[in-house]
Structure 1
Amino acid sequence: MNLKFLASTIVVACVAMSQAASDKVVGFYPYWSQYSQFYPKDIRYNTVTDIHYVGLLPAEDGSLAFADENDAENFKTLAQMSKDNNVKLIVSVGGMEAEGNLKAIASSDETLSSFVSNVSSWISENGGDGIELDWQNVTSEDKEAYGKMVNALVDGLSGSIVTAVVYPSAGMDAYDTEALNRTAYVDVFMADQMTEESSEVVPNQSASYVKSTLDQVSGAGIQSDKLVPIIFMYGKTFAGAQGLGTSHQGVGSGNEGYVSYAELMGKFDAPDYKVTFDEASQSEVAVSKDETIVFMGIPSVKAVAQQVKNDGMAGVAVYDLSQDHHEPIVSLLVTLGLELRPGVDFKPKKK
């Protein structure tokens, strides 16, 4: 046998497997989308492979409920349309201020068993392909309980997808990486870099920031092929600033300075803004006479997708689906798809 040929064949196969694995495009769909008149029918299902619905709240006894019961009918539609379009639907369990209940559940074997059973029953009754554990503000004291819950979900939800989201800005010491490596994939959430408390404008999120965060997570022991970085589909505005490194007078227009990517593209139709790509950080910045906006646009999102593909990671997620632009030529979802899923036709369907 030609060992040199065999070795080269294995290398080629491994590279191909690595590249093939980087094809996941996850879109977050929070329950509050209904209040901005964005519904399941408005999702462009051909642009995503998975949808994460936010979400379900756990009670101390392990029971589950919609974070907003008014969204129950929307979820039924979402489940059916996801199924019809061959898109995996993952239900996020936990979220803000749920860490106390999750800790209480994990502290009792009986309650944890009931919780896993309730999750399984909920999916069977309501639809979906699995769950995402969203245990926020986890501390090193919670590490054993966290790992116990992840393992219980993986073992108890056979046939369903189990994922988790991590928040590395608070440190990785709290996470049981062995347990996380048993999940289907791990979403990596990055805190905003730019806040009103920042004295000078810096990128809110950038391709370089994403890379350093992913390096932190993989360095803690989570397999690279499990990682899915979450890209923000919003910009942040700062009044009085005149570009990166300049001072500001606080947040500007929008919801406390937040402006969706789709809204930004509308703003930039006018000649009031000069939009540039900052090579150093690999992020976008827009400057007018009144404000500076920092955001992730096509060049920076493309850079993240290329990194994910080159490093054999699982894919990229966006937060959230309602904030993308509907036109393919400026869509961030299409930008990701062209890199990670080049065989897909992203042209809008004729009505």
Structure 2
Amino acid sequence: MNFKVITLALAMGAAMAQAAADKVIGFYPYWSQYSQFYAKDIRYNLVTDIHYMSITPTAEGTVAFADEYDADNFKNLASMSKENGVKLIVSVGGMEAESNLKAIASSDETLSSFVSNVKDWIATNGGDGVELDWQNLTTDDSEDYAKMVNALVDGLSGSTVTAVIYPAAGMDAYKAEALNRLAYVDVFMTDLMTESESSLVPNQSANSVQETLDAVASAGVNKDLLAPVVFMYGKSFAGAKGLGSSHQGVGSGNEGYLPYAELMNRFDTPDYTVTFDEASKSEVAVSETESIVFMGIPSVKAVAQHVKSEGMAGVAVYDLSQDHYEPIVSLLVTVGLELRPGVNYKASKK
């Protein structure tokens, strides 16, 4: 191979690595309809992929909407995603579906029927692929999980097949060789700050995200497949006076949960002092009555920069309904400016 060919190959390799970290994935739960956030409210230019949550499986391998009342909204979502050139991935599984998924995977016949039913559901209702969401996985499920991943990849050829994984309980339940067959892997993390913590710690931080990604990669999962899931909500704790301080339980919001958009509106008032903690790379807001830990622009930017520098797949956000609509404070825009700088992120004129 001559020098020009080597130089070209290196340049192409660098370009491919640079282009790898370009996914901006937005989770869209079916229950968004109950907070009056519909398919028409999504800013499609800010995402490359939407993951709809979800369709649920039965132990017999059939699948259906988790909430049939969202069928019309999903129809609009499929249509608008296609119109805007955004991939729509349908999540199958979710909360309390693990027993049914285990029953499906334990029978070759049922597993084959399940894959066929998923394929038919997408063909009938719309979508570009499927994401496997098998929660509370244990080492006893390892073989069945890998079998289901392989069956979906083989059976849905031509469609995008992904999975969301939960590495907090350990990576022993996941077989890297199976995950490495997927189009990409969403890495979901647990809430780090709960009532059981005696003092206030970040609920999620750029540092904790990086540590989790490192653990997944160390287990043999290809780095270029990884997309960390960033939380678009904060958690409040009464009586806390900042990181490291004690608290008196959950504070304001829905059982202590506050959407990012609501946080930004609250912080327009002088009631809270908001700071970025350099040690953890996360944000904390302190008022006279509570503290709120959350991921803001600096921490989310740090996550996106890490993903880009490591050539990972992209960044996912949970969930689309919780972002702020103003570009200057939007977390989706923050991610996009790092991973997709060529997109126009200016607010549209009314």
TM-score by length of 1: 0.98
In structure 2, what residue type is equivalent to 1:191? T
- Structure 2 CA distance for aligned equivalents of residues 153 and 329 of structure 1: 40
Which amino acid in 1 is paired with 2:102?
Answer: K
How far apart, CA to CA, are the structure 2 residues paired with 1:255 and 1:227? 31
Aligned residue for 1:104, secondary structure, equals helix
Match of 1:139 in 2: 138
The yes-or-no answer on 1:128 pairing with 2:127 is yes
Task: Give me the whole-angstrom Cα distance separating, in 1, the residues matched to 2:339 and 2:202.
Answer: 25
* Deviation for aligned residue 1:257: 0.6
- Give the residue type in structure 2 aligned to 1:129: D
Tell me, in whole angstroms, the C-alpha distance in 2 between the residues paired with 1:2 and 1:59. Answer: 58
Q: Which residue of 1 aligns with 2:280?
A: 281
Report how many residues are paired. 350
Provide Cα deviations, 1:86-143, integer angstroms capped at 9, x if missing partner.
0000000000110000000001111000000000000000000000000001111111
> For the residues of structure 1 that align with 2:21 and 2:346, how far apart are their CA atoms?
22
Match of 1:260 in 2: 259
Q: Distance in 2 between matches of 1:10 and 1:192?
A: 43
Aligned residue in 1 for 2:329: 330
Structure-2 separation of matches of 1:31 and 1:345 = 28
What is the correspondence of 1:1-351 to structure 2 with a 5 Å cutoff? 2-3=2-3, 7-351=6-350
When the two chains are superposed, the root-mean-square deviation of aligned CA atoms in Å is 1.0
Q: Structure 1: how far apart are the matches of 2:175 and 2:106?
A: 16
Shift in Å, 1:16: 1.9
Deviation at 1:245, TM superposition (A): 0.3
| C-alpha distance in 1 between matches for 2:349 and 2:80 | 18
Deviation at 1:349, TM superposition (A): 3.0
Aligned amino acid, residue 206 of structure 1: S
Match of 2:109, as an amino acid? E
Unaligned runs of 5+ in 2: none
Gapped regions of structure 1 (runs ≥ 5): none
**Deviation string for 1:215-242 (max 9, x for gaps)?**
0000001000000000000000010000
Aligned partner letter, 2:281: Q
Distance in 2 between residues matched to 1:323 and 1:310, nearest whole Å: 27
Rounded to whole Å, the distance in 2 between the matches of 1:247 and 1:97 is 33
- More displaced, 9-18 or 20-29? 9-18
Write the distance in 1 (CA, Å) between the matches of 2:14 and 2:271: 46
Query: Matched residues in 1 for 2:48 and 2:253: separation?
Result: 30
Query: Which whole-Å deviations, capped at 9, do the CAs of 1:251-292 have from their partners, x for residues lacking one?
Result: 000011100000000110011111010000000011111111
SS of the residue corresponding to residue 205 of structure 1 reads: coil
- Cα distance in 2, alignment partners of residues 7 and 240 from structure 1: 62
Distance 1:348 1:132 in 2: 31
Q: C-alpha separation between the residues in 1 aligned to 2:21 and 2:244?
A: 35
Shift of 1:8: 4.9
User: 1:273, 1:292 → 2: CA distance?
Assistant: 9
Structure-1 separation of matches of 2:329 and 2:347: 13
Counterpart of 2:61 in 1: which secondary structure?
coil
In structure 1, C-alpha distance between the alignment counterparts of 2:101 and 2:161, rounded to whole Å: 16
Measured against aligned partners, the alpha-carbon deviations of 1:42-89 in whole angstroms (never above 9, x if no partner) come to 000000000000000000010001111110110000000000000000
Superposition misfits of 4+ residues, deviation over 4 angstroms: 5-9
Deviations along 1:16-65, one digit per CA (max 9) or x if unpaired, are: 21111100000000000000000000000000000000000000010001
Measure the CA separation in 2 of the matches of 1:20 and 1:95: 31
Q: How far 1:2 sits from its partner (Å)?
A: 4.8
Q: Kindly provide the CA deviation profile for residues 172-213 of structure 1, in whole angstroms up to 9, marking residues without a partner as x.
A: 000121111001000000000000110000000000000000
Letter in 2 for 1:18: A
| Matched residue SS, 2:50 | strand
Shift of residue 15, structure 1, vs aligned partner = 2.3
* Superposition deviation, residue 341 in structure 1: 0.3
SS class of match (1:328) = coil
Q: Secondary structure at the match of 2:328?
A: helix
Q: Give the 3-state SS of the residue equivalent to 2:79 in structure 1.
A: helix
